[in-house]
Structure 1
Amino acid sequence: MSPSSARCSTTRGRARASSRICSPASTPSPPISARCSPPRHRGARRPLEAYGKAAIVGLNGEIEHGSGIIHNLRFGDHFRNAANATTLLPAVEKRGPAGVAFDIPLKHYTDMRIRSHHQSVEARVADAPHADEILVALAGAAQGRPQQRLAALGED
């Protein structure tokens, strides 16, 4: 698998690959989706075939704060449209300290029955999220699992 992420960046004024941090007390304006470039326009060599999203909430926050950011059409539709996708964008939410590892689930972008693209990618940002922050991440892959052997859902 060769994952390529959306590379949405800027955290406290510094560049950071694959993440955006927001304070739960303030909704970003313009929305996160308006400030992130689509994955195809950021140097991806091949078109996106699988995608996923994550929200990691700092220890002083609630998982619902992260869910509120990533589970709405204003956020998900931007990524779906950039990838010409038609399936739901799989997600994970987690609460944890800075540097916590998290797995972003990936699924095929146009056909949820294609199991070769049901996979996950592990991610970690060493200094995020702080206790009052939310880390939002997008992930994508240009192919499914190598040597996959499962038939499409409903065909076994």
Structure 2
Amino acid sequence: MSENYSLDDYEIRSWHTQTVEVTELAGRKLDDPLVKAAVAVVIRNPFASQPFQEDLSALTAPSGVLAHELGTRAKALLGGREVEGYGKGGIAGTAGEQEHVVACVTTIFGNGFRDAIGGGAAWISSFTKVASAGTSIDIPLAFKDEVFVRDYYDGITLHIDEGPKPDELVICVAVSSGPRAQARVGGITKEEALAKLAK
């Protein structure tokens, strides 16, 4: 995360959180609750209603700082549990482009997010779109150290009533404390993935 940037490099309008705690599914109690959390920030889009811009670095360059703050807030929502799954995403208001959201969640953003939540070896599942205020977004989740561990394929839905307005961007991250509740479709296990990484 670059020390040359701060949250002041964005015009932040609001912060939003969503938390889900699953304790039982299909009539079976979970040994440990599954906690999933999402945090979003609504920022002004400096490129909204502007002619096509080739250079979107004003959004990309400071994004590690934004991601670190989002990740810190998201991890706190797990109530002391470790982050095992993660994802990211965003919505551009209708006066912007999908590319404006993507510019905010590139590798710089991913590195800042990993920094805040305790690392992660896997690429971060992502979803972005253009939509009007009040549109929900499903943020995908996958195991943070190996994307092919099927048990962690999951997601959390985030809904912001008043955003994004046409000139805004919603930038969000999601974390989970473990695999899907009652996951049982097979594939590589978390333990096998970690053993492979350790070699």
Q: TM-score range by the shorter chain?
A: 0.7 to 0.9
CA RMSD of aligned residues (A): 2.5
1:49 aligns with 2:84: yes
TM value normalised by structure 1: 0.80
1:19 aligns with 2:54: no
Report the structure, 1 or 2, having the larger helix content: 2
The C-alpha deviation readout for 1:46-102, integer Å capped at 9, x for no partner, is 10010000110001111011111112x221101123331000011000111111011
Matches within 5 A, 1:29-48: 31-35=62-66, 36=69, 38=72, 39-40=74-75, 44-48=79-83
Conserved in 1, the CA contact under 8 Å of 2:41 and 2:172? yes
Question: What is the alpha-carbon distance in structure 2 between the residues aligned to residue 69 and residue 129 of structure 1?
Answer: 15
Report the structure, 1 or 2, having the larger strand content: 2
- Partner residue, 1:77: 111
Q: Highest Rg: 1 or 2?
A: 2
Match of 1:103, SS state, is strand
Answer with 114-123 or 20-29: which moved more: 20-29
- Partner residue, 1:124: 159
Match of 1:52, SS state, is strand
Q: Report 1 or 2 for greater relative contact order, CA contacts < 8 Å, sequence distance ≥ 6.
A: 1
1:114, CA displacement in angstroms?
1.1
Task: Name structure 2 gaps, 5 residues minimum.
Answer: 1-10, 18-38, 48-57, 189-199
The C-alpha deviation readout for 1:12-39, integer Å capped at 9, x for no partner, is 3x55432212222164698243251524
Question: What is the alpha-carbon distance in structure 1 between the residues aligned to residue 123 and residue 136 of structure 2?
Answer: 23
